[in-house]
Amino acid sequence: MSLLDQFFVYHPEPWQDRDWARLSGLPLEEVWFQSTDGVRLFGWYVETQADRPVMLWCHGNAGNIISRLENLKYLYQMGLSVFLFDYRSYGKSQKYDPNEDGLYQDAGGAYDYLTRIRKIRPERIVLFGRSLGAAVAAELATQRAASALILESSFPSIEAVAKFHYRGLPVHWLLGAEYRLIDRLPQLSLPKLIIHGDRDDIIPIELGRQVFETAKPPKDWYVIPGADHNNIYEVGGPAYFRRLGEFIKKALSV
């Protein structure tokens, strides 16, 4: 792993110790579990009904799960149960230098918690990945069974993003992380919903379109007009959540 990864790829934020369940109004269950390589991780589980779909949420490269609380609340109001967790070194999770293989193992541990501890069947699990988390969720989908995969603000690879931002210069050679989502998608036969904002200046919509074109059917492409990289669910509003619900319902009924 390149030392530059710690500056350019991963931007974890430390935990703020507050009563987040009371402040959010959500039934947040605090969960401690282990990555598949033994790193101790923290997450929140919110449950609606026992037979409802469960979203396993792989977040992006910055912040921690606290900054996803508002979004989590909307998903819960949709009737989804959600397991939102922090990677190594993010939030309350064990301080352990994040790296690509490590994040993949963190997601594997989160999945194993759902299936082995909570006894949730794979056909109820929907994998969701935003930005960097899209590559994490897709890698998980190559290793574990799930009903559907939702990718939001995703990119083909670190190389593609670096070339866009640095005018084609091979800056990615200095980084250890690759996150080659485009290598995973042709292998995946489960239903996929790929979402992108048309004003995303961090991951331009052209890169999101490449992700969609690479993906193996069945797949859907959903553009949010006026949305940038970090506000898709806000700009998309009720129509966005309806689309998520329709996609998930259809995927689970197959």
Tokens of 50: 């026992």
**Catalytic position from the list 24, 93, 131, 157:** 131
What does pTM read for this prediction? 0.95
Spatial separation of the C-alpha atoms in residues 116 and 162, rounded to whole Å: 38
pLDDT in tens, the chain (254 residues): 444 555 468 899 999 999 999 999 999 999 999 999 999 999 999 999 888 999 999 999 999 999 999 999 999 999 999 999 999 999 999 999 899 999 999 999 999 999 999 999 999 999 999 999 999 999 999 999 999 999 999 999 998 988 887 654 455 445 567 899 999 999 999 999 999 999 999 999 999 999 999 999 999 999 999 999 999 999 999 999 999 999 999 999 85
pLDDT at 253: 86
Active-site residue, 220 included: no
**Catalytic position from the list 59, 172, 196, 229:** 229
**Whole domain around residue 129: which residue ranges?**
5-253
pLDDT at 2: 46
pLDDT at 168: 47
Of the candidates 182, 175, 151, the one whose C-alpha atom is nearest the C-alpha of residue 59 is 151
Longest dimension (CA), the chain: 50
**Catalytic position from the list 86, 106, 200, 220:** 200
Other CB atoms closer than 10 Å to residue 64's CB: what's the count? 22
pLDDT at 159: 87
pLDDT at 175: 58
Active-site residue, 131 included: yes
Spatial separation of the C-alpha atoms in residues 52 and 153, rounded to whole Å: 26
pLDDT at 1: 46
CATH for 175: 3.40.50.1820
pLDDT at 251: 96
Cis status, amide bond into 27, omega within 30 of 0: no
Spatial separation of the C-alpha atoms in residues 66 and 197, rounded to whole Å: 23
Q: Would you say the C-alpha torsion 158, 178, 152, 9 has a positive or negative sign?
A: negative
> What is 86-140 written as a DSSP string?
PPTTSBTS------HHHHHHHHHHHHHIIIIIS---GGGEEEEEETHHHHHHHHH
Q: Which residues contact 203 (CB under 8 A, 6 or more apart)?
A: 131, 153, 154, 155, 161, 196, 229
Active-site residue, 81 included: no
Q: Work out the burial of residue 163: count CB atoms within 10 Å of its CB; fewer than 13 is exposed, 13-18 middle, 19 or more buried.
A: middle
Distances (CA, A) of 140 to 16, 110, 123: 29, 10, 15
pLDDT at 9: 81
- Amino acid making up residue 163: K
Count of domains in the chain? Answer: 1
